[in-house]
A and B are shown apart, each in its own frame.
Chain A
């Protein structure tokens, strides 16, 4: 997936249907369910860097 960082992004009438859905109770319920599932999946964001990777970084 690639989105332009510099290109101007404008929301138009064509986006209204999607925006209305994104703010609906129905969709927010789905988001909540998805958040619950996500919380169960273990994240590696805060995993410490292993010795092997540290060494590989130094050896670059």
Chain B
């Protein structure tokens, strides 16, 4: 199986949609299948104290999951999380602020998109990082068209 074929075989789902259709208990069980020894923060966000679920419910973040059936068990093999973040411009030159903001050289805070989490599980069988990054950009662009936060 090639990398592209593996990626095509995965299922992409928004956590928000899953929460509408299934109980939180079930979703917590699914999220707990994500394992990442290299980056414990990545694992913790999905699995500990339902951080991802709580942030999703409060509309602070949007998390997207990549699912795979391995030995008849559904597991999360990768995910990314997007949030809207305020960037403060303390210490930047006025010309840079004007370029970033597009209007006001004295702007002290600017909304922007943050890829808060992005990574793959230890159980993910291929290096799909490029595809995850592609999809996160795709989602930011979708959101940008609807919500008008600059994609800085």
Q: Which residues of A contact B7 (CB under 8 A)?
A: 44
A20 touches B (CB below 8 Å): yes
CA distance A38 to B136 in the complex (A): 12
A19 touches B (CB below 8 Å): yes
Could you jot down 18 A-B contacts, CB within 8 Å? A1-B117, A2-B116, A2-B119, A4-B116, A5-B60, A11-B90, A11-B91, A13-B92, A20-B96, A38-B134, A43-B134, A44-B12, A44-B135, A53-B74, A57-B74, A60-B22, A60-B29, A60-B74
User: Taking beta carbons and an 8 Å cutoff, which residues of B are in contact with A?
Assistant: 4, 7-8, 10-13, 18, 21-22, 26, 29-30, 39, 41-42, 45, 55, 60-61, 67, 69, 72-74, 83, 85-93, 96, 99-100, 114-119, 131, 134-135, 137-139
Q: Mark A28-46, 1 if CB is under 8 A from B, else 0.
A: 0000000000100111110
Interchain CB contact under 8 A, B138 and A45? yes
Q: Which of B30, B86, B131 contacts A41 (CB 8 A)?
A: B131
Q: Which of A16, A45, A52 contacts B93 (CB 8 A)?
A: A16
CA distance A31 to B34 in the complex (A): 31
User: Taking beta carbons and an 8 Å cutoff, which residues of A are in contact with B?
Assistant: 1-5, 8-13, 15-16, 19-20, 23, 38, 41-45, 47, 49-50, 52-53, 56-57, 60
Interchain CB contact under 8 A, B114 and A42? no
CA distance A19 to B137 in the complex (A): 19
Interchain CB contact under 8 A, A42 and B4? yes
CA distance A1 to B45 in the complex (A): 12
B62 to A: closest C-beta gap in Å: 11
Q: Which residues of B contact A23 (CB under 8 A)?
A: 99-100
A15 to B: closest C-beta gap in Å: 7
Q: Given contacts A2-B42, A38-B134, is CB(A53)–CB(B69) below 8 Å?
A: yes
